[in-house]
């Protein structure tokens, strides 16, 4: 029988047994470790696939909430029914519920980037609930909350409000899922939030709080206000694993789908490029790929690449620090600005040394991750988080697979967006195309061979005024 535990990847602590809301490490906010709860299946999950159209049903055995439900005496059928009911409610709010999203070989993009036998493969999330992958994160949390309710484990004080800080896709997703479950949601948004988004959030009944930057105060003001709300009792309905480890559970369904589709199509990706803001999407992807590898669904792990913009790239800074340390310790010091060259030296680095350095990074967060000093700017504004909150799993994904981060220019972002608009049927916005901009950048550098297969996620449908 498989069991599911939540364990802090920074300090090893576990939530109190029976905690209805096991979202954060009990030691969060103390010491120097990177406190993020991650779910561990023992033994590893098989990624069994019953073919259900809804990924939350199809991969339910991989969800922490399913294990909580089963251990609490709920039948598999009752859990499935709970997911179906919630999904039907989402469909009533947003027009449709969750389905496995398309994964296709994009011949237009592949031809434009002069791939030969290889190709660009696209996981299209623009048709997902609320127009992006973000709803996956939040539906996963909501299923957990509904399980807690069904098991009668809600605290006597009742149902606290939900809270999220976001300027776009995450807030929209949160508002749809919260509305479907008839829960109160408080959203913390910047003053320049898109009008289309604000109108839709209001229509969905979310409570909006506009947060201004304070002179001399580093960090995202929306995030700071969100933290205050959580401290005052709101539940973190967040797309950041550091605030709610369970957000990664739903996010991983994207990676499982990608791997299963790639298997069915007979072409596994050699490289995966993912745009990174707060890092939950990339963290979910890394963990899904690792689990698929452990389950034997993937024969080898693809090289993993996080993509950020010139305007703000804390994840890249973290990788450079870790990379420099490892190359130094392995007796092959080299400049890490040339990421592909640095990554190539990895072939000679003993895996044990990499694991040791990952443990060091987990225990010394501040040496690797801190808020970007300037206010970050880019046309890919959805990935301008001051910090990459879920950086550690992303770092691990790159270090273990010999991948590296990519910094893209505004010109590359624009070209990537234009190409997606012209050559595909996917109406993704510039943020949602930024992972593909990383592929474009590396093709320009000549570091992706023409026979390689490269996977990207296009997410975030263009929001147009009605």
Ligand X SMILES: Cc1ncc(COP(=O)(O)O)c(C=O)c1O
What are the residues binding ligand X (CB under 6 A)? Answer: 132, 168-170, 239, 275-282, 382-383, 431-432, 459-460
426's torsion region: left (phi>0), alpha (psi -120 to 50) or beta?
Answer: beta
Q: Which of 362/393 has CB closer to ligand X?
A: 393
Site mask for Zn ion (CB under 5 A), range 22-51, x = bound: ---x-x-------x----------------
Q: C-beta of 131: minimal distance to ligand X in Å?
A: 9
Contact 247, 260 (CB under 8 A): no
Assess 15 for contact with Zn ion (CB under 5 A).
Answer: no
Nearest by Cα to 286 from 127, 159, 392: 392
Nearest by Cα to 222 from 170, 176, 175: 170
Cis peptide before 209 (omega within 30 of 0): no
Q: Which does 4 bind (CB under 5 to 8 A by kind): ligand X, Zn ion, none?
A: none
- Give how far Cα 338 sits from Cα of 194, 315, 392, 445, Å: 36, 15, 21, 11
Assigned token pair, 47 = 């990624």
Assess 404 for contact with Zn ion (CB under 5 A).
Answer: no
Torsions phi, psi for 384 (to 5 deg): -95, 30
Q: Which of 113/461 has CB closer to ligand X?
A: 461
Assess 11 for contact with Zn ion (CB under 5 A).
Answer: yes
Q: Which does 245 bind (CB under 5 to 8 A by kind): Zn ion, ligand X, none?
A: none
> Could you tell me which residues are beta bridge partners of residue 439?
none
Contact 304, 286 (CB under 8 A): yes
Q: Which of 29/205 has CB closer to Zn ion?
A: 29
Dihedral sign, Cα of residue 196, residue 201, residue 207, residue 210:
negative
Q: C-beta of 166: minimal distance to Zn ion in Å?
A: 24
Q: Which of 20/280 has CB closer to ligand X?
A: 280
Q: Which does 8 bind (CB under 5 to 8 A by kind): Zn ion, ligand X, none?
A: Zn ion
Q: C-beta of 117: minimal distance to ligand X in Å?
A: 29
Q: C-beta of 299: minimal distance to ligand X in Å?
A: 27
User: Which are the contacts of 99, defined by CB distance < 8 A and separation ≥ 6?
Assistant: 53, 54, 55
Assess 70 for contact with Zn ion (CB under 5 A).
Answer: no
Q: Which of 56/223 has CB closer to ligand X?
A: 223
Q: Which of these ranges, 6-14, 120-128, 224-232, 457-465, lies near Zn ion under the rule CB under 5 A?
A: 6-14
Q: Which of 37/235 has CB closer to Zn ion?
A: 37
Q: Which does 277 bind (CB under 5 to 8 A by kind): ligand X, Zn ion, none?
A: ligand X
Q: C-beta of 37: minimal distance to ligand X in Å?
A: 16
Q: C-beta of 164: minimal distance to ligand X in Å?
A: 11
Helices 410-423, 434-445: crossing angle, 10 deg rounding: 110
Angle in degrees, CA 451, 453, 459, rounded to 5: 145
Q: Which of 68/392 has CB closer to Zn ion?
A: 392
Assigned token pair, 85 = 């009911």
- In angstroms, what is the C-alpha Rg of the chain? 21
Instruction: Tell me the residue number closest to ligand X, measured at CB.
Output: 460
User: Which are the contacts of 204, defined by CB distance < 8 A and separation ≥ 6?
Assistant: 93, 172, 175, 176, 178, 179
DSSP state, 219?
Answer: S
Q: Which of 168/269 has CB closer to ligand X?
A: 168
Q: Which does 35 bind (CB under 5 to 8 A by kind): ligand X, Zn ion, none?
A: Zn ion
Torsions phi, psi for 306 (to 5 deg): -90, 135
Q: Which does 10 bind (CB under 5 to 8 A by kind): Zn ion, ligand X, none?
A: Zn ion
Q: How far apart are the C-alpha atoms of 29 and 15, rounded to whole Å?
A: 15
Q: Which does 82 bind (CB under 5 to 8 A by kind): Zn ion, ligand X, none?
A: none
Q: Which does 25 bind (CB under 5 to 8 A by kind): Zn ion, ligand X, none?
A: Zn ion
Q: C-beta of 30: minimal distance to Zn ion in Å?
A: 8
Q: Which does 275 bind (CB under 5 to 8 A by kind): ligand X, Zn ion, none?
A: ligand X
Which residues in 215-337 belong to E strands, given as ranges? 235-236, 271-275, 303-309
Q: C-beta of 315: minimal distance to ligand X in Å?
A: 9
Q: Which of 66/391 has CB closer to ligand X?
A: 391
List residues binding Zn ion (CB under 5 A).
Answer: 8, 10-11, 13, 25, 27, 35
């Amino acid at each position: 029988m498989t069991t599911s535990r939540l364990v802090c990847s920074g300090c090893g602590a576990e939530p109190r047994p029976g905690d209805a809301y096991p979202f954060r490490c009990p030691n969060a906010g103390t010491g120097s470790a990177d406190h993020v709860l991650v779910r561990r299946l023992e033994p590893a999950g098989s990624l069994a696939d019953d073919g259900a159209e809804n990924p939350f049903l199809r991969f339910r055995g991989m969800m922490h909430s399913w294990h909580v439900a089963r251990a609490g005496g709920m039948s598999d059928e009752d859990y499935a029914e709970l997911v179906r009911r919630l999904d039907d409610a989402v469909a009533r709010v947003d027009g449709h519920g969750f389905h496995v999203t398309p994964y296709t070989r994009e011949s237009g993009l592949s031809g434009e980037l002069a791939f030969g036998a290889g190709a660009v493969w696209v996981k299209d999330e623009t048709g997902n609930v609320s127009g992006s992958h973000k709803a996956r994160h939040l539906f996963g949390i909501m299923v957990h909350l509904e399980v807690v309710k069904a098991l009668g484990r809600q605290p006597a004080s009742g149902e606290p409000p939900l809270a999220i800080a976001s300027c776009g896709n995450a807030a929209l997703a949160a508002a749809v899922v919260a509305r479907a479950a008839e829960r109160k949601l408080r959203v913390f948004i910047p003053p320049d939030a898109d009008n289309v988004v604000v109108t839709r959030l209001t229509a969905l009944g979310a409570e909006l709080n506009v947060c201004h930057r304070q002179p001399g105060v580093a960090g995202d003001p929306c995030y700071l206000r969100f933290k205050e709300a959580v401290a005052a009792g709101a539940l973190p309905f967040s797309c950041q694993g550091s605030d709610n480890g369970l957000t990664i559970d739903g996010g991983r369904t994207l990676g499982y789908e990608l791997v299963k589709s790639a298997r069915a199509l007979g072409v596994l990706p050699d490289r995966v490029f993912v745009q990174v803001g707060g890092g939950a999407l990339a963290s979910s992807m890394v963990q899904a790929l690792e689990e698929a590898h452990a389950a034997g669904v993937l024969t080898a792990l693809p090289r993993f690449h996080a993509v950020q913009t010139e305007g703000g790239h804390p994840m890249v800074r973290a990788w450079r620090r870790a990379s420099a340390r490892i190359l130094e310790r392995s007796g092959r010091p080299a400049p890490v600005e040339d990421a592909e060259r640095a990554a190539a030296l990895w072939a000679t680095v003993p895996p044990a040394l990499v694991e040791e350095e990952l443990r060091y990074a987990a225990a010394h967060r501040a040496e690797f991750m801190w808020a970007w000093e300037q206010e970050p700017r880019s046309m890919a504004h959805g990935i301008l988080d001051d910090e990459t909150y879920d950086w550690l799993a992303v770092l691990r994904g790159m270090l273990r697979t010999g991948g590296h981060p990519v910094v893209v220019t505004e010109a590359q972002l624009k070209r990537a967006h234009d190409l997606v608009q012209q050559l595909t049927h996917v109406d993704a916005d510039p943020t949602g195309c930024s992972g593909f901009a990383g592929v474009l950048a590396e093709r320009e550098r000549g570091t992706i061979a023409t026979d390689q297969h490269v996977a990207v996620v296009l997410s975030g449908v263009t929001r147009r005024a009605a």
